[in-house]
Amino acid sequence: MKARLTIDEYTSGILTGDRIVLGKAISLIESNLSTDEQQAIQLVERIIDKTGNSIRIGITGVPGVGKSTFIETFGKFVTGQGKKIAVLTVDPSSQLTKGSILGDKTRMDELSKNNRAFIRPTASGNVLGGVANKTREAILLCEAAGFDVIVVETVGVGQSEVAVKNMVDFFLLLMLAGAGDELQGIKKGIMEMADSVVISKADGDNMKHATEAQAEYQQALHLVPSSISGWSPKVLTCSSLTNTGIQEIWKMILKFKDHATKSGFFEQNRMQQNIAWFQEHFNHLLKNDFRRFPSIQAEFINLEKKIADQKISVQAAANELLSSYHRAIKNS
Amino acid sequence: MKARLTIDEYTSGILTGDRIVLGKAISLIESNLSTDEQQAIQLVERIIDKTGNSIRIGITGVPGVGKSTFIETFGKFVTGQGKKIAVLTVDPSSQLTKGSILGDKTRMDELSKNNRAFIRPTASGNVLGGVANKTREAILLCEAAGFDVIVVETVGVGQSEVAVKNMVDFFLLLMLAGAGDELQGIKKGIMEMADSVVISKADGDNMKHATEAQAEYQQALHLVPSSISGWSPKVLTCSSLTNTGIQEIWKMILKFKDHATKSGFFEQNRMQQNIAWFQEHFNHLLKNDFRRFPSIQAEFINLEKKIADQKISVQAAANELLSSYHRAIKNS
């Protein structure tokens, strides 16, 4: 099968739930080639009215907390309930090496062989905004392909969690019992975003720690300002090893969806997410618009040189470039 | 003294090293009022050729590692050497509460009374880029006011550290011995950015742990791709309690500056930072430019409504808005 398909081939493949075509379509979306970008926009337009019919679940937690194992166990349970699950990953790479934090592990081995599951470790990029944008589009494609549970996984590093929170319905934070106060400190902002904290590896000798941590986190969450959803975050425990707690987590998510649908929060939240996405996407277009004009590109380079030679301040240079951009648009 | 001064008053106050005026000037820079913004740009233009004559040191580490105590001890040492030190903070607030992570503690009590020191817990904002931009301008003001050591402190949460790394000459990561593997895992990307890792609280019972950690981190840093500065990151230990290791840290920083100045990296790096800042600042101007046009603002709101009512896709709406922006510029 060739690397790139026609729009019709992408569309019909996705709408019939063909996972290979879905994978290729996500590659198209991830491409930075401008012809691919054009096609990706068309593709999203084509499938847009088949989207939205899923529960979008964000999952985060520090490396070592057992996210992959949890998602594998959770995915097996959910597919066992007759659901189709898609797993996407937002992975802002290590700044200098550009290496993937997640890519080097064999992950979710069993789930990946399940034909009700689709696992896609999204290629990472150095611009988080860009990655987030592409992940949002990938969610839409998965929905159009009939996946009714979409998991968006992220590593526990600040900004990426905010990005994921802003594209999901339900945000789940995986934590380890007894991982130390420092770790909890750094997670404070993340905790506030969570609809649920799940304490993983609650088995064997760890059981006591996990139960204690559950009480502690539940207490901590009482200090968090209550969410506009009206939902009180729940703290649960689970073990992928002994396969316990997974059903309760799924029940909780269904309960949340029911609660949020009845209160109108579910639709309201998605609407607000779309509006925020629109603003971001417009900024993205704007940021790249001036590259259409060779004269502006040339001036950009010229101003960079002046800044390097300390002949102009950063602020003055930026103002000058904006004026030139206006002139270029007027003359176009 | 009134809240706002004239440009002449700000300029002369800063150039004579008046810390009260410097504080007010930083408030001006932090203001989002458009009249203040205009004045802030003018002010930076006025003092720009008195800037640059400092060593800019970024300091990061998770909450609990003892950053404030370290900076206090370091600051006392450096001022004892006849230097003037300014301490700025980049503090991306907790996403939901907008509360300051740092603001609730009484911090650097002794240093704040030292007349060779200036401590400014920069007001935080919800847009990291904006905060970073203002911190960069604050650095310039401090330099113009004669501070020769500028410390930019950040909390250990991902993106803010990248922002700080990109505005300093030397980046120092404070770590605790024995804080667990998870913590080290999450810090991998940060480690790669560090010019030095300093293990704090190396005293009493902790001494052995600290020395072991020193060896371990030094080993880990050998795995990190070597920096383009040609500098090999050093791992040191220190104790603010017993006041040990501080002199060695200062010596190391001076050695780095000497090394980087001779190799040309010091100037090269600052030049590249300015160019990156220019690009960011231009994007910032661009992002706000369309707000000049009432018609575009109205269309923006109209498109948001259409998105909420699911009458248009996010991508199509953004494209439409860009076209309208072009038309508005042409007609202006």
> For residue range B186-200, what is the model confidence (pLDDT) as tens digits?
456 777 889 999 999
**Cα–Cα distances in Å, from A255 out to A100, A139, A249, A258, A261?**
35, 22, 10, 5, 10
Query: What's residue B5's pLDDT?
Result: 93
Count CA atoms within 13 Å of residue B15 on its CB side.
Answer: 13
Confidence class for position B179, pLDDT limits 50, 70, 90: low
Q: Are the beta carbons of B315 and A162 separated by less than 8 Å?
A: no
SS3 A275: helix
More confidently predicted of B153 and B94: B153
Name the phi and psi angles at A157, rounded to 5: -130, 75
Find chain B residues with C-beta within 8 A of A278's C-beta. Answer: 303-304, 307, 314, 317-318
Q: Is the pLDDT of residue B96 over 50?
A: no
**Cα of B65 to nearest chain A Cα, Å:** 8
Q: Is the pLDDT of residue B280 over 90?
A: no
Find chain B residues with C-beta within 8 A of A185's C-beta. Answer: 62-64
Confidence class for position B182, pLDDT limits 50, 70, 90: very low
**Cα of A77 to nearest chain B Cα, Å:** 28
Find chain A residues with C-beta within 8 A of B308's C-beta. Answer: 271, 274-275
Share of chain B above pLDDT 90, in %: 51
Q: Is the pLDDT of residue B98 over 60?
A: no
- A275 → closest Cβ in B185, B285, B308: B308
- B282 → closest Cβ in A63, A158, A322: A322
Tokens of B189: 């990307």
Chain B segment 31-60 residues within 8 A of A by beta carbon are: 41, 44-45, 48
Find chain B residues with C-beta within 8 A of A182's C-beta. Answer: 62-65, 176, 179, 183
Mean pLDDT across chain B, nearest whole number?
85
- B180 → closest Cβ in A179, A192, A274: A179
- pLDDT (mean) for B92-116: 60
Whose CA is closest to A60, among A189, A171, A181? A171
**Cα of A29 to nearest chain B Cα, Å:** 13
pLDDT digits (tens, 9 = 90+) for A117-139: 999 876 555 455 566 778 999 99
pLDDT digits (tens, 9 = 90+) for B310-329: 788 888 899 899 999 999 99
* Range of weakest confidence among A184-198, B131-145, B227-241: A184-198
Chain B segment 238-257 residues within 8 A of A by beta carbon are: none
Confidence class for position B92, pLDDT limits 50, 70, 90: low
Query: What's residue A323's pLDDT?
Result: 93
Burial (CB < 10 A; 0-12, 13-18, 19+), residue A2, is exposed
- This model of the complex carries an ipTM of 0.74
pLDDT digits (tens, 9 = 90+) for A255-264: 999 999 999 9
Q: Is the pLDDT of residue A196 over 80?
A: yes
Write down how long chain B is: 332
Chain A segment 282-301 residues within 8 A of B by beta carbon are: 282-287, 289-290
- B278 → closest Cβ in A275, A303, A326: A303
Whether A127 and chain B come into contact, CB under 8 Å, resolves to: no
Closest-CA residue in chain A for B271? Answer: A308
Chain B segment 171-190 residues within 8 A of A by beta carbon are: 176, 179-183, 185-186, 188-189
Confidence class for position A102, pLDDT limits 50, 70, 90: very low
What letter represents residue B284's amino acid? H
Tokens of A29: 């979306």
Pick from A292-296, B79-83, B232-236 the range whose average pLDDT is largest: B79-83
Tokens of A266: 């579910």
Q: Cα–Cα distance between B38 and B29 in angstroms, integer?
A: 9
Share of chain A above pLDDT 90, in %: 50
